[in-house]
Amino acid sequence: MTSEEQDVQGWRAAAPSLDRTAALCALQRQRREEEELQASYEQRRQVLESLDQRIEELQKDYKNAHEFCLSLDVFLKEEDASQAAEKAEREIREVLQKEEELERLKETYAQLISRKQELQLEQQRHYLYWDFMEQVVKMSKFEDVDSLTVHLGSLLHFREKLYKKYNEAQEQVDQLRQALAALEDQHHVIQLQKNNELSQLQSDLEETHSEVLLWERHWNHIQETAAKETLLLGKIKMATLNLYEMAGGKLEGEEDISVNDTETQLERIKLFIQDHEDMIKTHQSLSEKQSGEQKGKTARRPAGTHHKKH
């Protein structure tokens, strides 16, 4: 436990006695305030008396001015009557102002009387503490109540400093709590954002995984198709090579055609087919010509035989 905490606990334990001390200090302050109030009361009472005298004088002047105003009808054409009327009006206004000020002073006087009565009642309540302090002075090292009051006032001042320091520490604790709450809220918001991002990334990952599976199936199909086409191409090459060899082509020697040169082999097969087509066409034309000649001979033979019979 720190020294400050011990001081605070000591202050809390001594709170009842310090409350009595505070009451005594308050009693002294009230006595001083009562003396000041009494002086103010006397001053204002004198002011009220002078105002009352002044009001009586103004009322007399007002009465005289009023009587004078009644006789103004006779002296309307004279300049002095006009000046007297103006003076009377000014005095009337002054009287009204003084009456208003008197009302305000009466209200202030009533408030001061009420405050004085309150202080007297409070002073009577605190007399018990004053007697107690006198007994304490007799049993202590202090010479009189005033010296004890000064010492207790210093203790009260020290208590106020401790209380102020305690309040400042409490304010710092409250500020730290608020900062911690703000950080927790910020952490919660960040965590929610990260969870949302993680969920989005998980969705993207699943979507990407689905796309990968789709492309894998597509790639497998491409590989299968490529394998089939490769096999078919091999068969075509073998068939082309067989036709090339059947057409009399050679893979070695002067022609020097590669086994994998399928295009050249197809060109040679094409030429071979064209040559044989020409030969077939020539053979067919010769065969047709021979058949026509034989048909002509057959048609002439019966006519000659008939002529010989006749």
DSSP output for 201-265: HHHHHHHHHHHHHHHHHHHHHHHHHHHHHHHHHHHHHHHHHHHHHHTT--SSSSS---TT-HHHH
Q: Which is higher by pLDDT, 3 or 19?
A: 19
**Window from 68-77, 118-127, 198-207, 266-275 with minimum mean pLDDT:** 68-77
pLDDT category at 135 given cuts 50, 70, 90 is low
Q: What is the mean pLDDT of residues 107-130?
A: 72
pLDDT category at 140 given cuts 50, 70, 90 is low
pLDDT category at 125 given cuts 50, 70, 90 is low
pLDDT digit string, tens, across residues 45-71: 777 777 777 777 766 766 766 666 555
- The dihedral region occupied by 253, where left means phi > 0, alpha psi between -120 and 50, and beta the remainder, is left
Q: What pLDDT does 214 receive?
A: 93
Contact 34, 119 (CB under 8 A): yes
Q: Which structure tokens are listed for 290?
A: 């021979």
pLDDT category at 26 given cuts 50, 70, 90 is low
Q: Which structure tokens are listed for 201?
A: 């990334």
**By C-alpha distance, which of 112, 109, 108 is closest to 120?**
112
Distances in Å between the Cα of 163 and the Cα atoms of 10, 157, 160, 175 are 12, 10, 5, 18
pLDDT digit string, tens, across residues 72-107: 555 555 556 566 667 777 877 887 787 788 788 878
Decide if pLDDT at 306 tops 50. Answer: no
**Window from 154-158, 201-205, 212-216 with minimum mean pLDDT:** 154-158
CA 299/CA 37 separation, integer angstroms: 176
Match 């202590």 to its residue by tokens: 140
Q: What pLDDT does 185 receive?
A: 92
Mean pLDDT, rounded, of the chain: 74
Q: What is the mean pLDDT of residues 270-277?
A: 84
Decide if pLDDT at 192 tops 80. Answer: yes
68-79: burial string, b at 16+ Cβ within 10 Å, e else: eeeeeeeeeeee
Decide if pLDDT at 11 tops 50. Answer: no
pLDDT category at 15 given cuts 50, 70, 90 is very low
Q: What pLDDT does 310 receive?
A: 41
